Each structure stands twice: as C-alpha cells, then as structure tokens.
Structure 1
Amino acid sequence: MTLATILALAGEAAEHHGNVQAETFIYGAVAFVVFLALGLVTLSYRNVANRHAHKAEAYAKAHPVDQAQVGHGHH
C-alpha cells in the first residue's frame, strides 16, 4: 500500500454523513437549561432588600449615623 492509498482509505473511513444540526442539538439544549437555571437563581434574589426592610429600619434606629461620617471617608 502506498501513502496515498492509506490516506484515501482513512478519508473514507472518517467521512461521516448525517445531520450535523441534529447531532449537535444536545449542546444547545444543555446551554439553554444552564442559562434557564442561572436565570432562576438571579430571579430568586429579586427584591431581597425589601423583604428585610424592617430589619434595616430597626438597625438605622439603633445606630444613628453622625453626619460627619457619612460618605467615603472624606471630610
């Protein structure tokens, strides 16, 4: 056998006929499920600050803030 014959036989063996879109559909489906799960996690944190507004108000009443300390540490 010559090198050309071996390459030709390898090319025929590696040749694949089929619907590439149907074969790779699972990657899109997995990505969709992952993004959907991440979206649900993000949505679960929606409005968290308002759920605990009573705690924030109680903390603010218990710890009055001096106006000189408000800001980024600049005087």
Structure 2
Amino acid sequence: MTTAATLIALAAEEAEHHGNVALETVWYGIVALVVFAGLGLVTLSYRNVANRHAHKAEAYARTHPAPTHEGHGH
C-alpha cells in the first residue's frame, strides 16, 4: 500500500468513528467566552476607582506638591 492510500484509509476510518468535530470542540469556545467575560467584569470593576476617594486624593495632593519643570534635563 502506498502512503497516500494508507492516509485515505486512516481518514475514512476516523470519519466513521467520529461525528461532527465542530460539536465536539464547541466547549472550548464556550469556556473561552466565560473566561473572557469574567476577566472583562474584573476589568470593569476597577473603573473610576480613583474618584471614589476624593478626600484621600486631595490630602495626598496637599502633602505632595506637583513637580515643577525648571528647564533642567532634556
């Protein structure tokens, strides 16, 4: 038997044992969708965090003044 005939015979044998491959692998997509949705929710939970504690930000700004650019450097 040649290599091509062997490959054709193996492919035919595999086709008989397995049904629709897309239905067998659909769970990978579902799991990925759930994981990315969870990560998206985590990312959105950090939205606008800096503005939640304005009194702390104002106190920090008073004790740590903004740096002044005096023309030094590049």
TM-score, length-normalised on structure 2? 0.67
For structure 1, list consecutive stretches of 5 or more residues without a partner in the other structure: none
After TM superposition, where is structure 1 displaced by more than 4 Å over at least 4 residues in a row?
Answer: none
Partner of 1:46: 47
Partner of 1:25: 26
Letter in 2 for 1:27: Y
The DSSP-based 3-state class of the residue aligned with 1:15 is: helix
Deviation at 1:64, TM superposition (A): 3.4
Letter in 1 for 2:11: G
CA RMSD of aligned residues (A): 2.4
Aligned length: 67
Partner of 1:12: 12
For structure 2, list consecutive stretches of 5 or more residues without a partner in the other structure: none
Deviation at 1:47, TM superposition (A): 1.1
Identity %: 57
Letter in 2 for 1:29: I
Q: Indicate how the Cα distance of structure 1 residues 34 and 21 shifts in structure 2: closer, same or farther if over 3 A, else same.
A: same
Q: Distance in 1 between matches of 2:61 and 2:42?
A: 29
The DSSP-based 3-state class of the residue aligned with 2:50 is: helix
Deviation at 1:30, TM superposition (A): 0.9
Deviation at 1:34, TM superposition (A): 1.1
Q: Distance in 2 between matches of 1:9 and 1:20?
A: 19
Alignment of 1:47-62 (within 5 A): 47-62=48-63
